[in-house]
Chains A and B, each alone.
Chain A
């Protein structure tokens, strides 16, 4: 009887908390963290380089890195942050239009691993100097 009750509780509560099992990351302040400085992500799981090409139709970018190139798909969920901190200007949220060839970028892939999906969770982009 006790085991049945416990099992029922476990199922009910598992349903309750399943919605909360998303990654527990604060997105808001990420906007203001310059390329290469995201704690525990930059230089560990993100990809950094320059945009080699951007495909507006497919919504993908190819990033040239020190070790080759990587493709990232930009989805509706992808956050794009325009990093202007080296110009001493306020960073802002961006769109796919900000992802231009030659721009310096950092990409965090969904699942925190490039091979996992190819889908970008966020992209930080520093526009080329005017």
Chain B
């Protein structure tokens, strides 16, 4: 004991002599995630100025929508097709980007840039740890085939650089961009996997509001909403009881492309049909997670629907019920999906409450990760956004206005000078208890 004490004093003396404070041991995983974060938001890969964060901004749930795009300055790298003459043609459609948040992709090849492309929204990079794996290998992007190489999330950045970061449409590696290195791919994958939920919910949960609780019943009812067959636990994976234990993330042709009067088509711009998975495509798109969806409109791969209520109602329509997926569902369960307006509202209310609960979970996690130290401006900003999202997603439909009031107080606490983390965490827990029972994390 005495010897240990002498050794400790000696070590301290050496540290003092060297002028180095003792360092906390660093976690290599954390370091990798931090490096990935820097790359994600700062690295342009010697391309046109875009970073991954250009289309996946932290302050907008790692996705884009027209409302957010409208706040960006004209010089933002997102608008590079408007400012770089080499990218003026066949790289983006600025009108569809600004009006509908649509990005141009050449998933069926780069041979005819004028006519062969699709226009898609930006999928958020949240909860990827729960949604990429499938029985057929990794599924990335809207149609599951978003990554070159082996199709993994790790390989995704390579394809993104080629498609979106290039200086010209020649896309010559070493001239128009540089490809990410192996180390960079590792780091960016680690960062993306760290974002959002790390595991699926377990439904049902005990919800306090009538609309949300009824919505959950409909969502889980295999004879009524039938939602959980494909969105098991409101996530991105198929119900193991229906698809087998290894199903994971699945792809379906749900008929979204058959929707009449799609906003992009109404503009009169050229918007070729999107054939989904494969080349040529089979019309299928993979199932997105729903937990964090309600505060991230517009919906579907083509940003065709503006509200979560509209997205739920889609499954009532001819486009879905006549689709391959709708037909099989009807055959397997005895009928298509036919919800009345009140039921659509209830399912949407359920999804709104789930979304708010996830916003609250993330907020608490961010603040708790700061420990007893004062949260950084980044943590304050992200927490603030999460709380805003939770408040908005509830208030838009007059859901749990008592919780909305508490959330506003939590926001005020975290935005105080100095930020009041402990108070904010307490208020977030209080708000959560107004939405549901028995949720600790």
Segment 1-34 of A: residues with Cβ below 8 Å from B: 6, 8-10, 12-17, 19-34
Q: Which residues of B contact A26 (CB under 8 A)?
A: 107, 141, 145-148, 151, 159
Segment 137-154 of B: residues with Cβ below 8 Å from A: 137-141, 144-152, 154
Partner of B110, one of A19, A31, A88: A31
Q: How many residues of A contact B (CB 8 A)?
A: 39
Partner of A38, one of B135, B148, B180, B278: B148
In the complex where A29-B159, A30-B148, A89-B172 touch, is A12 in contact with B332 (Cβ < 8 A)? yes
Q: Which residues of B contact A39 (CB under 8 A)?
A: 147-150, 152, 154-155, 158, 180, 182, 185
Q: Which residues of B contact A93 (CB under 8 A)?
A: 109, 111
A85 within 8 A of B: yes
Question: A39 to B277, alpha carbons, bound, how many Å?
Answer: 20
Q: Which residues of B contact A41 (CB under 8 A)?
A: 149-150
Question: A16 to B238, alpha carbons, bound, how many Å?
Answer: 12
Which residue of chain A lies nearest to B243 when distances are taken between CB atoms in the complex? A13
B395 within 8 A of A: no
B129 within 8 A of A: no
Partner of A85, one of B108, B172, B247, B328: B172
B136 A22 Cβ-Cβ under 8 A: yes
Partner of A34, one of B134, B152, B173, B182: B173
Question: A66 to B365, alpha carbons, bound, how many Å?
Answer: 51
Q: Mark B248-259, 1 if CB is under 8 A from A, else 0.
A: 001110000000
Segment 82-134 of B: residues with Cβ below 8 Å from A: 106-111, 134
B145 A20 Cβ-Cβ under 8 A: no
B145 A25 Cβ-Cβ under 8 A: yes
14 extra interface residue pairs, beta carbon distance < 8 Å, beyond A13-B242, A13-B332, A39-B155: A14-B244, A19-B284, A20-B136, A20-B144, A20-B251, A24-B138, A24-B147, A27-B148, A28-B106, A29-B159, A31-B110, A37-B179, A88-B174, A91-B171
Which residues of B does A touch, CB under 8 Å? 106-111, 134-141, 144-152, 154-155, 158-159, 162-163, 170-175, 179-180, 182, 185, 222, 229, 238, 241-244, 247, 250-252, 277-279, 282, 284, 324-325, 328, 331-333
Which residues of A does B touch, CB under 8 Å? 6, 8-10, 12-17, 19-34, 37-41, 85-86, 88-91, 93, 112
